[in-house]
Amino acid sequence: QRRNAGEPEFQQAVQEVLASLAPVLERRPELREARILERMVEPERQMMFRVPWVDDAGQVQVNRGFRIQFNSAIGVYKGGLRFHPSVNASILKFLGFEQVFKNALTTLPLGGGKGGADFDPKGKSDAEVMRFCQSFMTELQRHIGADTDVPAGDIGVGAREIGFLFGQYRRIRNDFTGVLTGKGVGWGGSLLRPEATGYGAVYFAEEMLKTRQQGLAGKVCAVSGAGNVAQYTVEKLNQLGAKVVTLSDSGGTIYDPAGIDAEKLAWVMALKNVRRGRISEYAQVFNAEYLAGKRPWGIPCDCAFPSATQNEIDGTDAQTLLANGCTLVCEGANMPCTPAAFALFQAAHTLLAPSKAANAGGVATSGLEMSQNALRMGWTREEVDAKLHGIMVNIHRTCFETAAAYGQAGNYVVGANIAGFVKVADAMLAQGII
């Protein structure tokens, strides 16, 4: 705690994991003796760098860039880049730490990392975003590589940014390799990568419901965010017969009791991915309610899919969701529930999917993109979807069975933490004191 003073998000993520691990360390004293935990909470390497660029008015701007290479015991560092004004070392260390466990759960050989910058792409022209990305990559390129560290997108880093970043990497290194994932399908990307995180979260939710002999058909769902994860969560929920009644962005929430069907979702995708507009416009176009400055959690729902950002469901939101009859919470975003919300959901036996399990479909499909790049081949959409589905079913089973093996049946939080930890810890133990 002393060493990480001033890093509340990182401390929150570590404490949540540590709270699950006491029974493992009791059963496996050799992990305690090798001080695996103490080593795991310290990133292997952490870079922080200046990102200077010139805006459209000819002014020099300066941002701060980061890459946290957290753990490579089971594979190359892998994890997204986030461009958002709130980015700092604490947020990226929490995301990198979570990524280590998540990547272990995918069963693919992927270590954990995370990076980004305190740059806000909102309101910037394409040319400004390009110049920023080129400057960011001019420094980042010396730290990454297809066999070292393979970044991807996250908040504020979508197809446009990955394109600019990849172009600059290729230009500097004269090397066409799978150094980033989330690339365009015409230049090394995988089919279904954009859909993967949202689809994967819904596949996980489906598996949880099966343990109670239920399905998603007819379920009323509240989704937050309106970005990549939220959009494809809505798409898959619609395909499985659920009704999604909310979306949001940092301005507020739209509530559409009639449901956000495929046609309305296509409009949202054009709004957010092409026009880069605000979700409030939806309310006018489709005659829905707009709740300015509000999150979706006051809307009655059966299932909640927080898909925007960290700590977006606090204790009060959790109480409201429970009072309104919500029985499933599936974390599409990273750590969207505060510890108080987690405790309330667990006490109420809510089906609660922690982000490191529920949103692992994104990084898993990034892993599949790396495999396709290495093979210099591309799989069909159906092949990638089948693999993604298989991976999510497998992650669910692993979490479920691990929780049961430790006397905590149905506790996916404990199951995910223990299963991810044991895989990485065993690799670290085998590789010596490094």
228 is in an annotated binding site: yes
* 287-293: long-range pairs with CB below 8 Å, 24+: 288/254, 288/255, 288/256, 288/257, 288/258, 289/254, 289/255, 289/256, 290/252, 290/253, 290/254, 290/255, 291/252, 291/253, 291/254, 291/255, 292/251, 292/252, 293/251, 293/252
Task: Kindly identify the residues of this chain, within the stretch 344-383, that bind ligand NDP according to CB under 6 A.
Answer: 359, 362
Using the contact rule CB under 6 A, the part of the chain among 15-23, 332-340, 384-392, 414-422 near ligand NDP is 332-340
Euclidean distance between CA atoms 331 and 309, whole angstroms: 10
C-beta closer to ligand NDP: residue 109 or 251: 251
Q: Where are the beta strands (DSSP E) in 72-176?
A: 77-83, 112-117, 149-152
Name the residue number minimizing CB distance to ligand NDP: 227
* Side-chain half-sphere exposure of 392, counting CA atoms within 13 A: 31
Contacts of 84 (CB under 8 A, 6+ apart): 116, 118, 119, 120, 155, 156
Return the bridge partners of 223, or none. Answer: 305
Contacts of 75 (CB under 8 A, 6+ apart): 103, 108, 109, 110, 111
78 is in an annotated binding site: yes
Q: Catalytic residue at 114?
A: yes
C-beta closer to ligand NDP: residue 140 or 268: 268
Q: Strands 112-117 and 60-71: what pairing?
A: antiparallel
C-beta closer to ligand NDP: residue 72 or 359: 359
Ordered DSSP codes for 152-184: E-BTTB-HHHHHHHHHHHHHHHT--S--SSS--
Question: Nearest approach, Cβ of 234 to ligand NDP (angstroms)?
Answer: 12
C-beta closer to ligand NDP: residue 24 or 288: 288
State which of residues 89, 208, 308, 413 lies at the interface with ligand NDP (CB under 6 A).
308
387 is in an annotated binding site: no
Q: Is 125 in the site for ligand NDP (CB under 6 A)?
A: no
C-beta closer to ligand NDP: residue 178 or 225: 225
Question: Nearest approach, Cβ of 350 to ligand NDP (angstroms)?
Answer: 20
Euclidean distance between CA atoms 289 and 271, whole angstroms: 17
Task: Kindly identify the residues of this chain, within the stretch 225-254, that bind ligand NDP according to CB under 6 A.
Answer: 225-230, 249-251
Which two tokens mark 183? 């690339």
State which of residues 71, 197, 238, 327 lies at the interface with ligand NDP (CB under 6 A).
197
197 is in an annotated binding site: yes
State which of residues 7, 16, 149, 154 lies at the interface with ligand NDP (CB under 6 A).
154
State which of residues 72, 134, 334, 372 lies at the interface with ligand NDP (CB under 6 A).
334
Question: Nearest approach, Cβ of 10 to ligand NDP (angstroms)?
Answer: 15
Which two tokens mark 117? 């910058």
Place of tokens 């997204």: 80
Using the contact rule CB under 6 A, the part of the chain among 39-47, 257-265, 301-309, 372-380 near ligand NDP is 301-309
Cα 312 to chain center, whole Å? 14
C-beta closer to ligand NDP: residue 43 or 156: 156
User: What string marks each residue from 96 to 115 as x (binds ligand NDP by CB under 6 A) or -?
Assistant: --------------------
Active-site residue identified among 93, 114, 183, 264: 114
Euclidean distance between CA atoms 200 and 152, whole angstroms: 17
Binding residues: 78, 99, 102, 153, 197, 228, 366
Q: Which residues bind ligand NDP (CB under 6 A)?
A: 153-156, 158, 197, 225-230, 249-251, 307-309, 332-334, 359, 362
* Catalytic (active-site) positions: 114
Binding residues for NAD(+): 197, 228
